[in-house]
Amino acid sequence: MEFLLYLALGACAGVLAGLFGVGGGIIIVPVLVFSFTLQGFDASILTHLAVGTSLATIIFTSINAIREHHRRGAVRWPIFAWMTVGILIGAGFGALTAEAISGPNLQKIIGVFALIIAAQFALEVKPKASRTVPGKVGLTVAGSVIGWASAIFGIGGGSLTVPFLTWRSVPMQQAVATSSACGLPIALASALSFMILGWHDPLLPAHSLGFIYLPALLGIALTSMVFARLGARLAHSLSPRLLKRLFAALLFCVGLSFLL
């Protein structure tokens, strides 16, 4: 039954990754927390396990989304390259930060973040294109901040990267596509960090690789790679306003459940 849940979760995460450039982690982490709680995993490590597993699944989600966006010529590869330099640094520090926070407190932090993203989607808050794309140093600094935060929340960084690139006058479709590309180094660096940090934790359940739960990773990866391409196609053909508001309502409920 849990594996069927992971398959369905992967499909939803894949569509979200391609459609909004959010990587799906903002949905994967809460659902994994609920699932791991029902499975009786230790409360002190289950949130870290959910975050690490989410980041590992984004590796697979990103690959097909990137291929679809690249096929349409929408990825700004020079921006991606310099942001990745910072992402690789920030993601490692983000994983260390998350490990230092207790499980219950980490859930509250993720809950607040979910509410903020829900408000952003519901109100369609978008920064105005008021500045040009920064240079190499600016992109590296931005990548490090985004990588740090993404590792803590277990996300691919799209909810941070897309607004940043939009503010820097990158057209929306290119911002989403480049954000999807940036999700791959975020996921790789963060997942590796969580795997190493949790490697010898005695409280981990069977079939774990550090703070990565392999059955969940497998189930989500199987469907997310297929559905990410569908989401990327929809991003180029549909107005996502209704979907954004439904997504915001779901995130609002998730955020409240983590805080109450």
Predicted pLDDT of residue 197: 94
Per-residue model confidence (pLDDT) at position 21: 57
Range of the domain at 115: 1-258
Q: Which residue stretches of the chain have pLDDT < 70?
A: 17-18, 20-24, 235-236, 238-240, 242-243
The whole-angstrom separation of Cα 248 and Cα 70 is 28
Task: Please list, residue by residue across 74-89, b when 16 or more beta carbons sit within 10 angstroms of its beta carbon and e when fewer do.
Answer: bbbeebbebbbbbbbb
Counting the structural domains of the chain, the total is 1
DSSP label at residue 208: B
**The pLDDT value given to residue 55:** 92
CA 256/CA 68 separation, integer angstroms = 34
d(CA 236, CA 133): 23
In 3D space, the residue among 2, 21, 42 whose CA is nearest the CA of residue 183 turns out to be: 21
Q: Is 213 helix (H, G, I), strand (E, B) or coil?
A: strand
The pLDDT value recorded for residue 227 is 82
Please give the Cα distance from 161 to 87 (Å, whole number): 11
Confidence at residue 101, expressed as pLDDT on a 0 to 100 scale: 95
Dist. CA 243–CA 78, nearest whole Å: 31
